[in-house]
Structure 1
Amino acid sequence: MQTSTGPVSKAALARNVLPYALLSPAVLVTLAIVFFPMVQAAWMSLHDYVLWKPKAFTFVGLKNFWAALQDEVFWISFRHTVIWICLTIPAQLLLGLATALLLNQRFPWRPLARALIIIPWALPSVVIALMWVWIYDANYGVLNEFLLRMNILKSSIPWLADPDTALYAIILTLTWQGFPFFAVMILAGLQSIPKSYYEAAALDGASTLRQFWHITLPGISGVLVTAVLLRTIWVANSIDVIYVMTGGGPGYATYTLPLYAFVKARTNLDFGYGSALAVMFTLMLLGLVIVYLRRAGKAVN
């Protein structure tokens, strides 16, 4: 029996260090591809940095932020971003909740239905955007053809070329793409609720609506909070569907703040102003998340 504590100490040290050593590659990659670009964007937002004028990298302080507040396109994009989030998230949530409640029932081919519901979520955003561009086409799109045959429309509507309908058409597209996320999350929450709760409620004479209100909703409240938070962040930052379908047009009709920042930085090569827009949007989104988490925490408790 060895009385020295040297080998024991080395083994304990190895056990303590090993988890950090295994996590270090992931931490380093995260720092390299997430946090470093964030710090770089914050630093560039304080400078006048236009790529075709590389020698004009001058410190301007909050000038870019002040210019954004006086920029009409900024406020147009901000209004569209609010509409984008406030319509897309509730629509995805309600459609996902209805789908989850349906998939939680017993019916033939239920496993197949649960598998097929993932398709909109699994498809690449570019594929979905191109598919819906074809659906919305004014000349040969199936949406106009269907509405014309049903006598709902008298003539075809250029859904993506009309400033009054373009943004809402893209919102419908993203709603179709994102509702399976809510459906899967809520379905997992529904299956965690003990069946005995519903049996006891039925014996007490509770209606289906009262069971839903007093058992189902409290049982999935934690899932709903998490799903809404994650989806809000993803939807708010989503630009790929908009960019492919309209490129932000017609005019500025489908501009959102992330897309406007992307256009200024990548198209106009004004990285200083584009970074300022990105930082402002990040701070707005962070404030929204903090308020949501506080209110959601009080509601759950």
Structure 2
Amino acid sequence: MKAGTSGQLATGNAPMANAELMAIRQKVAATRRATPRQAHLRRMAALFLLPAAAFLLVLIAYPLFNVLWQSFNYGNLVDPATQGYAGLDNYRTVLEDEDFLPAFWHTLTWTVLSVAGEYILGLIAAIVLAQPIKGRAIFRGIVVVPWVIPIAIAGLNWMWLLNPDYGVLNAWMVKLGLLDHSRDWLGQIDTALLTVTFVNIWRSFPFYTISLLAALQAVPADLHEAAAMDGAGPIRRFWVITMPHLKAVSLTLIVIHIIWTAINFDFIWVMTEGGPLNASQTLPVMIYKFSMQDYDIGAACALASMSMAFMASLFFVYFYGLGRKEAR
């Protein structure tokens, strides 16, 4: 009885197994027929990507490799006889320089304060501009103005505004009683770096505002309505609903701007040139001085390579952590 039933099941399953086998064979045949077309599409895609790959190779990859190579060789802009393999001497020159540690801490302070201030101010501006206020479109256009002003022009304008002799801001602060007398904000050791940081925040926060505003508009309104019906207040809704939706955009903005700010040279050089007495000197300014004032190309490339290694480490840590999170 059992044997007969087993035979019937085997016989009944045979057509099903044959049908599945035929379907698999048909899929394989279809894949083989599509292979020439797919190969052609891949060749066409590679052909279209070739100019971009050449651009990256010539203008980015080769200069980076050259900087790394020069960091292990002696080089001087005014003395062609200074050449040859240096090993780690250029790195020792940088690490033993008395300005290296102060410049490192200035870079850290400049980067952390700038990114934190830009994010906080950008988030506040994005929340305000997301509200149904009158003239919202006009304000959204105005907030972008600092971002589109070139760094050199913005730096020079702020130098004039902060000038202790004829600066408008000093005059206003004295008139309002905030200061007893005009102050040289860019010429004093204790305020130079913080002043440049403030100006950098003023110029860069609109980029955060635009990005975070776009993310805010993508938050489903029904979630806020449901939370409000459940008794959640505005602050509770912000932390539980809004911020999780801004997390991905916020992390991307912060990581990108940490890299951009740490390697920023323009603002500090235009406004203070790293002074007074190197009080606002950061690592990019130090690289410039190594190369264009001391003419020591090897030391400049060594410091640039160290900075690149740090930024690459930050970049890979971020994406490695992001990849592990997505895998989980």
Unaligned 5+ segments in structure 2 are: 1-32
| Cα drift, residue 285 of structure 1 | 2.4
SS in 1 for 2:81: helix
TM-score where L is the length of structure 2: 0.85
Q: Matched residues in 2 for 1:120 and 1:75: separation?
A: 32
1:235-285, CA deviations, whole angstroms, 9 ceiling, x for partnerless residues? 111110111111111121111101111221123221100000111112222
User: Where do residues 31-50 of structure 1 align in structure 2 (5 Å cutoff)?
Assistant: 31-50=57-76
1:167-217, CA deviations, whole angstroms, 9 ceiling, x for partnerless residues? 111000000011011111111111111100000000000000000000000
Match of 1:216 among 215, 221, 242: 242
User: Where do residues 14-33 of structure 1 align in structure 2 (5 Å cutoff)?
Assistant: 14-33=40-59
What does residue 79 of structure 1 align with? 105
What does residue 137 of structure 1 align with? 163
Unaligned 5+ segments in structure 1 are: 1-6
Counterpart residue identity of residue 201, structure 2: T
- Percent identity, aligned pairs only, is 33
User: 2:258 matched to 1:226?
Assistant: no
What does residue 180 of structure 2 align with? 154
* Distance change >3 Å, CA 143–CA 293, structure 1 → 2: farther
What does residue 281 of structure 1 align with? 307
User: Where do residues 1-301 of structure 1 align in structure 2 (5 Å cutoff)?
Assistant: 12-292=38-318
Q: Which is higher, the Rg of structure 1 or of structure 2?
A: 2
Q: Matched residues in 1 for 2:258 and 2:324: separation?
A: 19
Q: Matched residues in 2 for 1:9 and 1:192: separation?
A: 40
**Does the 8 A contact of 1:163 with 1:253 survive in 2?**
yes
What does residue 4 of structure 1 align with? none
Counterpart residue identity of residue 115, structure 2: I
Q: Matched residues in 1 for 2:40 and 2:325: separation?
A: 44
Q: Matched residues in 1 for 2:118 and 2:215: separation?
A: 17
What does residue 12 of structure 2 align with? none
Q: Matched residues in 2 for 1:155 and 1:295: separation?
A: 51
SS in 1 for 2:99: helix
Q: Matched residues in 2 for 1:235 and 1:9: separation?
A: 47
* Distance change >3 Å, CA 298–CA 161, structure 1 → 2: farther
Q: Matched residues in 2 for 1:113 and 1:99: separation?
A: 10
Q: Matched residues in 2 for 1:51 and 1:188: separation?
A: 48
More displaced stretch, 205-214 vs 46-55: 46-55
Q: Matched residues in 1 for 2:325 and 2:134: separation?
A: 37
Q: Matched residues in 2 for 1:117 and 1:97: separation?
A: 13
